[in-house]
Amino acid sequence: MKKNKMFCVFRTANRRYLFKLFLSFFFLYNCANATAEDFYSCKCSYSRNMANEWGTICLPFDVEIFEEDDFTIYKLKYVSGTTVLFEPYTVGTIVYAGTPCLIHKDGDLHLKIIRDKQQIKLSETNEYSQYGWSIKGTFTGEIIEFDNSFYMAKNKLWHKTAGNPLIIRPFSAWLEADDDSYFSRSFNIGIVDMFYSGIPSTETDIDDYTKIYDFVGRQRQTFSKGINIIVTNKGTKKIWIK
């Protein structure tokens, strides 16, 4: 068993972003399941300076959510009109390695995630699909040619310019829509709140909503910015639209 340390710095083509991934790990040469891509680490740390409070992330190690974290990680749930809805990972849940997500940074914009004793999985990333939309991630960076792709910038999701390649930076994510009818230039971010009126719910799907109301009780046809209240076949829920 040999102890090693690795410090990796990644830059995008425009050199505006600096990414650091620090891994202090043990190579398990005698482990039959170990590969050149996957290994074990006694400590993992990822950091970056975010341009805005919202961003995307896709890390090669598991991230258990702690109450003291100064960030919130979100998974894709649903798309309605020009709003993409996401649900937060709650305290005690795990964002598994390779899972592409949205992330919101509280306070200052310096993001740092540190976790102990993890397996580093560099061999592949996951893809999560929901109702014709997919969120995809990359560890090394990607150049996206698919025109119906969406990227995060200035706290919104923006439609890729047709004909121009989209550069995705390392340890980040982007969205794709199967239906090319999504022609909006940008999409707002909506948050599904799993706790409304103090009543916890384990059922957070909102695809079967029947009515939408604003905060003062006026019925609406689509989601609007701020607090939205939806009535579903599983109860009433509150959604916040950025």
Q: Render pLDDT for 46-61 as a digit per residue (tens, 0 to 9).
A: 999 999 999 999 999 9
The burial class, CB within 10 Å (0-12 / 13-18 / 19+), for 68 is: exposed
In this predicted structure, the answer to whether residue 23 has a pLDDT above a threshold of 90 is no
DSSP β-ladder status, 211-214 and 133-138: unpaired
Determine the pLDDT at residue 217.
61
Mean pLDDT value across residues 90-108 = 93
Amino acid code (one letter) for 181: S
DSSP β-ladder status, 71-80 and 38-49: unpaired
Determine the pLDDT at residue 211.
74
Mean pLDDT value across residues 4-18 = 37
176: β partners: 134, 149
Nearest partner of 150 among 100, 98, 185, 99, judged by Cα: 185
Determine the pLDDT at residue 199.
30
Neighbouring CB atoms inside 10 A of 130's CB total 16
Distance, CA of 89 to CA of 111 (rounded, Å): 17
Distance, CA of 89 to CA of 69 (rounded, Å): 12
Cα dihedral angle (58, 61, 65, 67), rounded to 10 degrees? -110
Q: Range with the lowest mean pLDDT among 7-11, 18-22, 95-99?
A: 7-11
Average model confidence (pLDDT) across the chain: 75
List, for residues 192-233, the tens digit of each pLDDT value: 764 333 333 333 444 455 677 765 567 777 777 777 777 766
Q: Of all residues in the chain, what percent carry a pLDDT higher than 90?
A: 38
The pLDDT confidence band at residue 170, using thresholds 50, 70 and 90, is: very high
Annotate 128-149 with DSSP letters as a single string.
EEETTEEEEEESS-EEE--SSE
Domain boundaries, given as residue ranges, for the chain: 2-188, 194-241
